[in-house]
Amino acid sequence: MIIAITSLSLLGLVLGLMLGLAGRYLKVEQDPIIDEIAAMMPGSQCGQCGFPGCVPAAEALASGSAPVTLCPPGGRVLAEELAAKLGVTVDLSAMADDLPAMAAVSEATCIGCTRCFKVCPTDAIMGAPKQIHTVFKEACTGCKACVEVCPTECLQMHPIPVTLGTWAWPKPALAA
Amino acid sequence: MKLFRFRGGVHPESHKQATGSKAIEAMPLQKRLYVPLQQHIGAPAEPQVRIGDQVLKGQLLANSQGAISAPVHAPSSGTVIDITEHTAPHPSGLGVRTVVIETDGEDRWQDCQKTINPFELDADEISARVGAAGIVGLGGATFPSAVKLNLWKKHPIYTLVINGGECEPYLTCDDRLMQERPDEIIDGIRIMLHALHAKQALIAIEDNKPDAIERMKVAAHLFDNVTVVVVPSRYPMGSEKQMVQTLTGLEIPAGKLSADLGVIVHNVGTAYAVHSALRQGRPLVSRIVTVGGGAINTPRNLEVPLGTLVSAVFDYCGGFGESPARLLMGGPMMGQLLPHAEVPIVKGSSGVIALTEAEVAINRPRPCIRCGSCINACPCGLLPLEMAARSRKGDLQGAVDYGLMDCIACGSCSYVCPSHIPLVQYFSYAKGELAARRRHKQKADETRKLAEVRMQRMEQEERAKAEAAARRKAEREAKSKQEAVV
Amino acid sequence: MNRQVSNPISGPHTHSEQDTGKVMWTVLLALLPATAFGIYQFGWPALFLWLITTLACVVFEAMSLWLARKPILPFISDGSAILTGWLLAMTLPPWAPWWIGVLGAAIAIILGKQVFGGLGQNIFNPAMLARVALLISFPVEMTLWVNPLPLISSHAPGFIDSLLITLHGFKIDVYSGASVMGHVKTELSNGKTLSDALSQSYDATALALGFVNGSLGETSAVLILLGGAYLIYKKIISWHIPLSMIVTTASLAILMHGLHPERYPGGLFHVLSGGLLLGAFFIATDLVTSPNTRTGQLIFGAGCGLLVYAIRTWGGYPEGVAFAVMLMNAVTPLIDHYVRPRIYGHTATGKTLSYSNKKLARVKQAGEK
């Protein structure tokens, strides 16, 4: 009888251990596609899509509850990539081809409140209390987070000017 | 010498007779010169002068930036009156940073560093002087020449090809230069041979320029290592890839340089500029420009100071007899449409052409009838009709798979298309869109990195705050305990 | 002044004289001699049928364009609908009733071309699609051949009689006879020898000149050759498809004739009779439905030639050009996908080109005088 009890206990113990190990090491954390989508997103957690960050937005995209056109900083390019990734068709014409824009501080009205650089997802705004803030052009992603918190409306979005280096030929008008 | 054939190509009406027999004249100096700081491929030059500065002819206006760039010099003496955005000679109509000089009419040169014998200089010194003289590919590509002169360090160069093809219709500036200044060109060639450690130079001239061939042969016969080669007139003979293929029978492998084959190609105008820079110490401040097209009253070849407005050049050539349908910089095949004539002549301006309605032969695009004319015309073996169809649909990857990146934009396909489909524009659009996507992707990657750094920093701050709070709490507790003990 | 141009125009800023409309009109011009001969030979009914078929094509084209809300005039004036109608008429029996022409035109333009999206989008040659559809649906009307009755001859029907023939069809057996190919096929299947079958109907000179019965525009080999040569001279078509098609059919015929002289007709017979020449120069070379590359065109032509011979010899129909071309039309996208020119700087398989040292030595040879 002791043998029976021991062997059954051992069996239970071993199987339990295996289950525990499997649970720990073979755990499916989340749908892998969410990670892949999250990697495609801008990653600035700007919140313009209405989700609290890029990973929640990716989850929504993966579950199909959000449209691929949700990300304004990503623009058309991201929407097309997401559509290809998720295998959905997307009407990009509805997505206004927003000219890429960048935030700029109007020095006349900036009061140095520091609110903007606290919300900037890419640390693109530099400043100190009671000092006029400035935007690093290289780091600004045009997410508009700062515009919303600015109490004096001194932060405005300005379209990035087209230069000879960035100008490109438009698509020819459709043939008859 | 044995020549080889390249596939495809077209024979556009040459229209060269109007200016081919006219000697080069000097364009009179204008009151104001508009010198753009980007007249080359690569980074724009940075101004070294300030508004109000007096400058002499040949004085440095702006310095080159980075490895691929070129400096810009004052085309005449005078005063810098502005550094501003001025319309670039570019179809977009966009501005480019431009130094505006009010000339004093004296056209006074700065002191030039003359070289008696450039063959005593070492290769680095020659390419440094060519670079400092602001010399770029004068055939129209405007790639900084000094960069090409340095390629011998990576690839042994055997042959220097001097491109006198000038296959674009209307243009005769290289033709005239070869007829009138052959000895200077040969001198420039020999200096480049020396700098490149190359064994021989081949001067390739299309057979529709018998006078230039004759003059160049006479000038070259003194030198064993310089040979004039007569090549058939066929567009795009003047394209580097096709030129190398014609002379050697070898193709430049995809994504490689002609230097990988031991060949470097320079334009005849560039050879002349090298001669001026090394012998007289004069930087590139003027160039030969063909002024042509059916709308021009008296077509000419002019030596124009850089920065002269195209409108002044047209005026000097008697203005328009017929109102022009299109103003072009360069030839009609690969030249660029000008938004208006108030743009300056730049280093790459081989010609300014005013075409009449009839010459342009505008026609509305029609559906593709899959006739295959474009395929037979393509010198690169591409399928333009398939590439255009995919670009139109937005299937850019599809267009790339069909060879979009091997397209040299020579325009042969559009030229022959019976349906008048703007094939070249489809390819330019697709290439531009792909470049924009690359930039966008790069920006997104940078953004992600910046955001990650910020997140880490925020977490660290949180942790630091929590630790500080914990510490304070511990201190408080320790204190109260002490007090209790006391 | 630095205003961005909203719709910049890209180069090249000059253009060759070639134009879609010009291409079509040149082909029509090349068709003219053979057509004129056909009309002369088969009289007024042939002229009426040709007019009706061509006009019907233009009307159906205009209707389709109107339905598709496309500009009508620019598309009609490119001549493509006229060409389709003209080619279709040339392959019809010259005394066929009017409704054959109109129905054929409807099939060609609406089903053959416009449902695919119009000019340049169709997979099959519209004229051949119509001819095949008509041949299958109306075998009697489509194989009623009239003996040549030149316009000036006394037996030829007058204007009014001819109108009646076109409007009501003709049943007068006295004028009709089988085509050379049909005759030979029937006789052979009846167990006769080739020389017996040919003795009554075959005259190579008549075939070459066209004084035989057959479709409206396919009888005169000489005039079709003339038109084809003109098209090649004008660089509208290249020689690849016609040559490979004719050579394939002829060499198969010569081979089989050599093996069984009494069973299989020879090369000359195959080339000169039926619609082979018309098909080789004017139908298989249709720009839209044939391959784009030279190599592809050689394959396409050889395929057409092979199928023509196979259908003529072993198939149920005496003539097989229309079927052969249509079958090869279906293969064209495949040919175009696999047969591509080699891209500059790449190997045939698309890899980056690399040269052996021996080849690279050419750079050094380049300077040698």
Which part of chain B has CATH 3.40.50.11540?
Answer: 17-26+114-287
Instruction: Report the candidate in C78, C287, A168, C232 with the shortest Cα–Cα distance to residue B374.
Output: C287
- Supply the Cα-derived Rg of chain B in whole angstroms: 28
d(CA B354, CA B335): 12
β-sheet bridge partners, residue A159: A101
**Residues with Cβ < 8 Å from C359, sequence gap 6 or more?**
B250
How many C-beta atoms surround the C-beta of residue B110 within 10 A? 17
| pLDDT value, residue A48 | 78
Structurally, at CATH architecture level, domain A101-159 sits in 2-Layer Sandwich (3.30)
The answer, for A139 touching chain B at a CB cutoff of 8 Å, is yes
Q: Which residues of B touch C80 (CB under 8 A)?
A: 369
At B182, list the tokens: 């052959």
The conformational region for residue B212 under phi > 0 = left, psi -120 to 50 = alpha, else beta, is: alpha
Rounded to the nearest angstrom, the gap between the alpha carbon of residue A32 and the centroid of all alpha carbons in its chain is 17
Q: From the CB of residue B131, how many other CB atoms can be counted at a distance below 10 Å?
A: 21
A155-169, B407-421, C95-109: segment of lowest average pLDDT: A155-169
Average pLDDT score over residue span C95-118: 93
Radius of gyration of chain A from Cα atoms?
Answer: 25
Q: B450: distance to nearest CA of chain A, Å?
A: 5
The CA distances from residue C76 to C53, C127, C235, in Å, are 15, 17, 23
Residue B166 DSSP one-character state: -
Beta-sheet pairing, B300-305 with B24-26: parallel
For chain A, say whether C11 makes contact (Cβ under 8 Å): no
Q: What is the DSSP letter of B478?
A: H
Strands B200-206 and B226-231: parallel
Residue C2 pLDDT greater than 70, yes or no: no
Beta carbons within 10 angstroms of residue C267's beta carbon: 19
Say how far apart CA B228 and CA A101 lie, in whole Å: 55
∠ CA C192-C193-C198, rounded to 5° = 100
Distance CA A76, CA A95 (A): 7
Closest chain A residue to the Cα of C6, Cα to Cα: A170
Partner-chain residue, chosen from B159, B225, B254, that has the shortest CB–CB distance to C345:
B254
**Superfamily for domain range B17-26+114-287:** NADH-ubiquinone oxidoreductase 51kDa subunit (3.40.50.11540)
Nearest chain B Cα distance for residue C173, angstroms: 44
**How far is residue B75's CA from residue B72's CA, in Å, rounded to a whole number?**
9
Phi then psi dihedrals of residue C22, to 5 deg = -60, -40
b/e per residue B114-127 (b: at least 16 CB within 10 A): ebeebeebeeeebb
pLDDT tens digits along C299-323: 999 999 999 999 999 888 878 899 9
* Alpha helices, H only, B166-295: 173-180, 182-196, 210-220, 240-248, 268-275
Q: Which residue stretches of B259-328 are H helix?
A: 268-275, 310-316
Report the C-alpha gap between B182 and B201 in whole angstroms: 14
- Secondary structure class of C50 (helix, strand, coil): helix
Per-residue pLDDT at A94 exceeds 60: no
Polymer length of chain B: 486
| CB contact (8 A) between residue C359 and residue B95 | no
Spatial separation of the C-alpha atoms in residues B272 and B182, rounded to whole Å: 9
Residues of chain C in contact with residue A170, where contact means CB-CB under 8 angstroms, are: 7-8
pLDDT tens-digit series, residues A30-79? 667 888 888 888 777 777 788 888 888 888 888 888 888 888 777 777 88
- Is B171:B130 a contact under the CB 8 Å cutoff? no
Residue A176's pLDDT is what?
A: 41
Residues within 8 A of C (CB atoms), A 116-175 only? 162, 167, 169-170, 172-173
Report the topology of domain A32-94: 3-methyladenine DNA Glycosylase II; Chain A, domain 3 (1.10.15)
**What interface predicted TM-score (ipTM) does this complex get?**
0.88
**Mutate which: C7, C15, C23, vs B, most B CBs within 10 A:** C15
- Element at C317 (helix H, strand E): none
Burial of residue B358, with CB atoms counted within 10 A of its CB: 0-12 exposed, 13-18 middle, 19 or more buried:
exposed
Instruction: Return the pLDDT at A42.
Output: 77
Q: What is the mean pLDDT of residues A90-108?
A: 71
CB spacing of A169 vs C71 below 8 angstroms: no
CA C283 to chain centre: 2
CB contact under 8 Å between C344 and B159, yes or no, is no
| pLDDT of C328 higher than 70 | yes
With contact defined as 3+ CB pairs under 8 Å, the chains touching A are B, C
Question: What's chain C's average pLDDT?
Answer: 87
Return phi, psi of residue A134, to 5°: -135, 155
C349 — contact with chain B (CB < 8 Å)?
no
Angstrom distance (rounded) from CA B92 to CA B84? 18
Chain C segment 293-322 residues within 8 A of B by beta carbon are 293-294
C287–B428 CB contact, under 8 Å:
no
The closest of C218, C216, C228, C314 to C275, measured between CA atoms, is C218
Residues in B closer than 8 angstroms to C118, CB to CB, are 367
Residue A159 pLDDT exceeds 50? yes
Sign of the four-CA dihedral C302, C308, C310, C311? positive
Please tell me the distance in Å from C295's CA to the nearest CA on chain B: 12
- The pLDDT-based confidence of C177 (bands split at 50, 70, 90) is low
Q: What is the pLDDT of residue A30?
A: 63
Q: How far apart are CA C17 and CA C25, in angstroms?
A: 14
Catalogue the E-assigned strands of C263-336.
none
A103: left (phi over 0), alpha (psi -120 to 50) or beta: beta
Measured between beta carbons, the chain B residues lying within 8 angstroms of C119 are 366-367, 369
Q: Is the pLDDT of residue C132 over 80?
A: yes
Cα–Cα distance, C179 to C213 (Å, whole number): 6
A75 touches chain B (CB under 8 A): yes
> Residue A112: which pLDDT band, with cuts at 50, 70 and 90?
confident
Q: Which positions in chain B touch A162 (Cβ < 8 Å)?
A: 92, 94
Contact of C10 with chain B, judged by CB distance below 8 Å, is answered with: yes
Helix C20-42 vs helix C80-90: crossing angle, to nearest 10:
30
pLDDT, one tens digit for every residue, chain B (486 residues) = 889 999 999 999 999 998 989 999 999 999 999 999 999 998 999 999 999 999 999 999 999 998 899 999 999 999 999 999 999 999 998 999 999 999 999 999 998 877 778 898 999 999 999 999 999 999 888 999 999 999 999 999 999 999 999 999 999 999 999 999 999 999 999 999 999 999 999 999 999 999 999 999 999 999 999 999 999 999 999 999 999 999 999 999 999 999 999 999 999 999 999 999 999 999 999 999 999 999 999 999 999 999 999 999 999 999 999 999 999 999 999 999 999 999 999 999 999 999 998 888 778 888 999 999 999 999 999 999 999 999 998 889 999 999 999 999 999 999 999 999 999 999 999 999 999 888 888 888 888 888 888 888 888 988 999 999 999 988 888 888 887 776
- A47 to chain B, any CB pair closer than 8 A? The answer is no
